[in-house]
Amino acid sequence: MDLNLRAKQDCLFDEISLGEVMLRLDPGDGRIKTARTFRAWEGGGEYNVARGLRRCFGLHTAVVTALADNEVGRLIEDFILQGGVDTSLIEWKPYDGIGRSVRNGLNFTERGFGLRGAVGVSDRGHTAASQLKPGDIDWDFIFGRLGARWLHTGGIFAALSETTAQAVLEAVKAAKKWGTVVSYDLNYRPSLWKEIGGQAKAQEVNRELAKYVDVMIGNEEDFTACLGFEVPGNDATLKTLSIEGYGRMIEEAVKVYPNFQVVATTLRAVKTATVNDWSAICWANGQLYHGLSLPALEIYDRVGGGDSFASGSSTANDHGRRAASGQFRRCARRARHDHTGRHLHGEPERSGKRDEGRGRACAEIIPCTHLKLNQRTD
């Protein structure tokens, strides 16, 4: 992959992420509704990519977000600092004392196991990040004076409000102006779009944003719900996934959006919440790459896996052809855990066809086997 990254010596940041960072409250192996204690972490779909790139790949990353300036916001900041991500670009909003006008987001997430599906409960209305709007961030300063080689953002942040979608559009346009590579994870969440126009609004927003994206990430639900592309050959339950169908879908997407340089997606066939068949594919340079197939893979905690996959996919460009090697695959495997053994904590699971055991993705899988688009994969 050759994305023409800006020279490293000209940029302060290897990557910056634009998105909300929430406080995740984790009941361990218990249930949210009966828990008496929670462990606290930080997490957010876009932020997790910056954290993975910093902790696993040693890159200099930052997060662009907003937090209410209170003790919870400072706790989130402390977690971000522990992850090694630069916090200098955080916008701090004055707190009114009760959260009527601005607050910080909370994310309660419990693990699935066997037939028990994972459960995510977000409490993120009126958050500081959801109120970000065009003009709040000086992108010319960030991309021009400071310099950033890569911008990552996604459909979760774009769906938080009418203004965040506009803020994302402002950011990706500025990135293109300064020659910064843009990656975008579609990350469709019906609950986030429901109050601002539903799937029709999701397609309107994402189709416009897609015009400025170099690296597009998403699964079959994302591409269908956000961009209107269908994957031929998949069954209704998504128990069987057609790689050839994905290839044809990607070919169609690239025709509509010739700016796409890379399209990456995870492949997951759900057996139970604990056992999935996992793999991944990546389209680049007009060719399709298929990752290792890991049948009946046992999963402890899938939340944040897709964000880890995105961080591994992002760093592939720096590794060049090594992205197709076992070396890069091992790097991506480490992206699921940082060196402290902590999980990356992502967004709540979406509701949909795979809700009973569906995770965002697999950090264990990275494209490593070259395929022609018309080549059989069975």
Which of 116-121's residues contact partners 24+ apart within 8 Å by CB, and which partners? 116/273, 117/273, 117/349, 117/355, 117/356, 117/357, 118/273, 118/302, 118/303, 118/349, 118/357, 118/359, 119/31, 119/32, 119/348, 119/349, 120/303, 120/347, 120/348, 120/349, 121/32, 121/348
Residue-wise pLDDT tens digits, 244-285: 888 999 999 999 999 999 999 988 888 898 998 888 999 998
Q: Give the pLDDT band (50/70/90) at residue 306.
A: confident
Confidence at residue 215, expressed as pLDDT on a 0 to 100 scale: 97
Q: How far apart are alpha carbons 39 and 25 in whole angstroms?
A: 6
Q: How far apart are alpha carbons 366 and 56 in whole angstroms?
A: 15
- Asked if the model's pLDDT at residue 39 lies above 90, the reply is yes
Asked if residues 65 and 19 have their Cβ atoms less than 8 Å apart, the reply is yes
Q: How far apart are alpha carbons 254 and 203 in whole angstroms?
A: 17
Q: Angle of helix 305-319 relative to helix 47-57, nearest 10 degrees? A: 60
Residue-wise pLDDT tens digits, 116-161: 988 999 999 999 999 999 999 999 999 999 999 999 999 999 999 9
- Asked if the model's pLDDT at residue 37 lies above 70, the reply is yes
Residue-wise pLDDT tens digits, 105-119: 999 999 988 989 889
Confidence at residue 27, expressed as pLDDT on a 0 to 100 scale: 96
- Asked if the model's pLDDT at residue 360 lies above 50, the reply is no
Average pLDDT over residues 160-185: 98
Q: Give the pLDDT band (50/70/90) at residue 316.
A: low
Domain range summary for the chain, segments of one domain joined by +: 8-371
Q: How far apart are alpha carbons 104 and 72 in whole angstroms?
A: 7
Phi, psi of 367 (to 5 degrees): -50, 125
Indicate the class that CATH gives domain 8-371: alpha beta
Torsion, CA 195, CA 200, CA 202, CA 204, rounded to 10? -130
Confidence at residue 361, expressed as pLDDT on a 0 to 100 scale: 31
Task: Among 46-55, 149-158, 198-207, 229-238, name the one with the lowest average pLDDT.
Answer: 229-238
- Asked if the model's pLDDT at residue 25 lies above 70, the reply is yes
Task: Among 228-232, 266-270, 345-349, name the one with the lowest average pLDDT.
Answer: 345-349
Confidence at residue 204, expressed as pLDDT on a 0 to 100 scale: 98
Q: How far apart are alpha carbons 51 and 363 in whole angstroms?
A: 14
How much of the chain, in percent, has pLDDT values that exceed 70? 81
Copy the structure tokens of residue 23: 């406080």
Residue-wise pLDDT tens digits, 71-114: 999 999 999 999 999 999 999 999 999 999 999 999 999 998 89
- Comparing 191 with 236, the larger pLDDT belongs to 191
Name the strand (E) or helix (H) holding 190: helix 190-193
Asked if residues 227 and 253 have their Cβ atoms less than 8 Å apart, the reply is yes
Average pLDDT over residues 6-25: 97
Length of the chain (residues): 378
Q: Give the pLDDT band (50/70/90) at residue 313.
A: confident
Copy the structure tokens of residue 114: 């066997």
Q: How far apart are alpha carbons 152 and 65 in whole angstroms?
A: 12
Confidence at residue 278, expressed as pLDDT on a 0 to 100 scale: 86
Q: How far apart are alpha carbons 168 and 160 in whole angstroms?
A: 11
Q: Mean pLDDT of all residues in the chain?
A: 84
Q: Give the pLDDT band (50/70/90) at residue 238.
A: low
Query: What DSSP character marks residue 6?
Result: P
Q: What is the pTM of this model?
A: 0.85
Asked if residues 354 and 268 have their Cβ atoms less than 8 Å apart, the reply is yes
